[in-house]
Amino acid sequence: MRIDLLTIFPGFFDGPLDTSLVATAREQGHLDVRVHDLRDWSTDRHRSVDDAPYGGGAGMVMRPDVLVAAAESIWNDLAPGEPVQPPLHVAGGERPRTVLLTPRGRPLTQALVRELAGEDRLVLLCGRYEGIDERVHELVATDEVSLGDYVLMGGEVAAAAIVEAVVRLLPGVLGNAESAVQESFEHGLLEHPHYTRPAEFRGHEVPEVLRSGDHGAIAAWRHERALERTRAVRPDLLEPTDGPG
């Protein structure tokens, strides 16, 4: 899979992309990730990417000309400044899935992560400032996604979260293929508790059933604990939904 990240803070991604399984996935060729500085598409000498809002109000708004030009170049694999003919044209046909990270987007869920993991290419566009010109929403974004019901300073943390969640689902990335499906949310429940040695630690014991070798009883116990935890912490996950959750 190829992922293009567009940001005004390219250095932000140095850590997340060079650590752990994401780094391994890149080394092994499962993931081709490219970070682009949005300012490379700015046309003024201050390399500005924002401007004052029409209608007044506090804060600055990210400019449509810069963001649309950046998306057009990346969709078509062109360098900043190379003309795209016609505008918004995409060499391979359809534009790749282009996700705008914004608190007004739909919440990131494991179902959406699975969907994104099925794409050949993803473009993640990180917003900053008070907002993004509405024309970027209209012309560039195929999806608008929020990390949760809180406001971050920008979309970078949300984009890094998408990269991690998507990359661990790519074929060949997780050593133990089963661990991708066993975890929280894949079955609509939070995870059951885990234990390793020692059997007793500071007065806290590993439940007897996990040491019994009875795989049926262990599976039943784990399911019960997962249900119990979900009921206590996330009862909303147990409510019937109209569609895939």
- Give the binding site for ligand ADE (CB under 6 A): 101-103, 127, 146-148, 150-152, 154-155, 158
Q: Which is nearer to ligand ADE, 136 or 147 (CB)?
A: 147
Nearest 10 degrees: Cα torsion 172, 175, 179, 183: -80
- CB-CB contact of 84 with 72 (8 Å): yes
Minimum distance from residue 58 beta carbon to ligand ADE (Å): 16
Q: Which is nearer to ligand ADE, 129 or 185 (CB)?
A: 129
Minimum distance from residue 102 beta carbon to ligand ADE (Å): 5
Residues 6+ apart with CB under 8 A from 13: 5, 7, 35, 156, 159, 160
Minimum distance from residue 38 beta carbon to ligand ADE (Å): 15
Strands (E), 85-171: 97-107, 121-126, 131-132, 143-146
Minimum distance from residue 146 beta carbon to ligand ADE (Å): 4
Q: Which is nearer to ligand ADE, 106 or 231 (CB)?
A: 106
Q: Which is nearer to ligand ADE, 96 or 155 (CB)?
A: 155
Nearest-CA neighbor of 38 among 46, 30, 47?
47
Three-state secondary structure call for residue 243 = coil
The H or E element that residue 4 is part of is strand 2-7
Peptide bond into 86 cis (omega under 30): yes
Minimum distance from residue 244 beta carbon to ligand ADE (Å): 21
Q: Which is nearer to ligand ADE, 54 or 150 (CB)?
A: 150
Q: Which is nearer to ligand ADE, 98 or 102 (CB)?
A: 102
Minimum distance from residue 39 beta carbon to ligand ADE (Å): 19
For residue 26 the two structure tokens come to 């890149």
Three-state secondary structure call for residue 117 = helix
